[in-house]
Amino acid sequence: MTLPHLDPLIFAKKIIQKDENNSIVFCEFKEIPTLTTFIEAAAQSSSSFVDQSKPKLGFLATVKNIEQHREFDSLQYHIHLKLEAQIAEFKQFYFEVFNLSNTTEPYISGNFSVIIKEA
């Protein structure tokens, strides 16, 4: 994944699975993450829907309906993204965060939107 972030603020590491409207991204943290770092990781994961051959800039525009379902207990997670709407540079996503060993009970779920522009 190509992101303009540097350690320790780069959490999205690898696209695991991707189709037209869904992706799963492997994210890794240096310490037990907070709700805020998960939202940033989800926003970084949205780059899985961008042409990686051209530089882009992404801006987190909105966050809503965020629910924490479980306590965070790991450094590695999968973020499942569903592209719900797209209008020009604006993309809206639903996301869920799962532990690598449990893909049935999410840690977090919610919605966010990003604006992605040419760099």
In angstroms, the Cα distances linking 21 to 68, 93, 95, 105 are 24, 9, 12, 21
Report pLDDT for 83: 98
For residue 90, the Cα-to-chain-centroid distance in whole angstroms is 15
> SS3 of 3, please?
coil
Domain-wise residue ranges, the chain: 12-118
Looking at domain 12-118, its CATH architecture is: Roll (3.10)
Q: pTM of the full predicted structure? A: 0.91
Q: Please give the single-letter amino acid code of residue 77.
A: Y
In tens digits, the chain (119 residues) has pLDDT values of 566 565 667 899 999 999 999 999 999 999 999 999 999 999 999 999 987 777 778 899 999 999 999 999 999 999 999 999 999 999 999 999 999 988 899 999 999 999 988 87
Distance of CA 77 to the CA centre of its chain: 11
DSSP of 50-95, one letter per residue?
Answer: S-TTS-EEEEEEEEEEEEE-S----SEEEEEEEEEEEETTEEEEEE
Residue 2: predicted pLDDT: 62
CA 26 to chain centre: 9
